[in-house]
Amino acid sequence: MTQIDYYLSTISPYAYLAGDRLEKIAGRHGARVTYRPLDIMQLFDRTGGVRPPARHPARMDYRAQELARWSEHLGVPLRTDVPMVNMAPSSYAVIAAQEQGGGDVGALVRGFLSARFADGRDTSDDAVIRDVLSAAGFDPALADKGLLVGAEEYGRNLDRAVEAGAFGAPFYVVRETGQKFWGQDRLDFLDRHLSTL
């Protein structure tokens, strides 16, 4: 079975805009997705990127226009007035849920992204984490029980991303071929690549 490593950040608007397209593509090709949440700011630091607050105003202005364009193009509401939050707690929950199984990890990731970018909720808040876990079919207690395994794997995911050549999020790597796809706007290329395997 083809394996896709999905490097993501639960605070990435571009991961939010990807919606469920990755899961649909994987389903069509019989591929398996491994979700690898990571600290996107540290990934920027380690791969030559620039954290958003330090970017030139011209880049940030373009980013705002591009997000609005993609939101309209995809017909997906996108709130850009959301404050920065700690991405670690929601990432730990995704990691712990994937480890435990029993629910829909893709729905969980989308749940956190939608809570933030559609509903404007604080995805670092325990109550929000529990709600999103429950809605995706997982035990809400994973918000507490999964902290240790989540924290350890979270750091490893950052190392894996750097080793795999990832430098942003969302970032998709097909393990068998080493082909890399950066951004929700490259999902069509991922789909095409999987059709050749």
Residue 89: CATH number of its domain = 3.40.30.10
pLDDT in tens, 158-178: 999 999 999 999 999 999 999
User: What is the band of 192 on the pLDDT scale with cuts at 50, 70, 90?
Assistant: very high
| Confidence (pLDDT) at 10 | 98
Residues of the chain above pLDDT 90, percent: 94
User: What is the band of 149 on the pLDDT scale with cuts at 50, 70, 90?
Assistant: confident
- pTM of the complete model: 0.96
Phi-psi region of 183 (alpha: psi -120 to 50; beta: other; left: phi over 0): left
Q: Closest Cα partner for 87 from 8, 172, 142, 149?
A: 8
Alpha carbon dihedral 21, 25, 27, 32, in 10-degree steps, equals -100
Could you tell me the two tokens for 108? Answer: 């969980």
**Averaged confidence pLDDT in the chain:** 96
The answer to whether the beta carbons of residues 18 and 187 sit under 8 Å apart is: yes
Domain count for the chain, please give it. Answer: 1
For residues 130 and 145, give the distance between their C-alpha atoms in angstroms, rounded to a whole number.
Answer: 12
**pLDDT for residue 189 is more than 90:** yes
Structural domain range at position 72:
3-194
pLDDT in tens, 56-102: 999 999 999 999 999 999 999 999 999 999 999 999 999 999 999 99
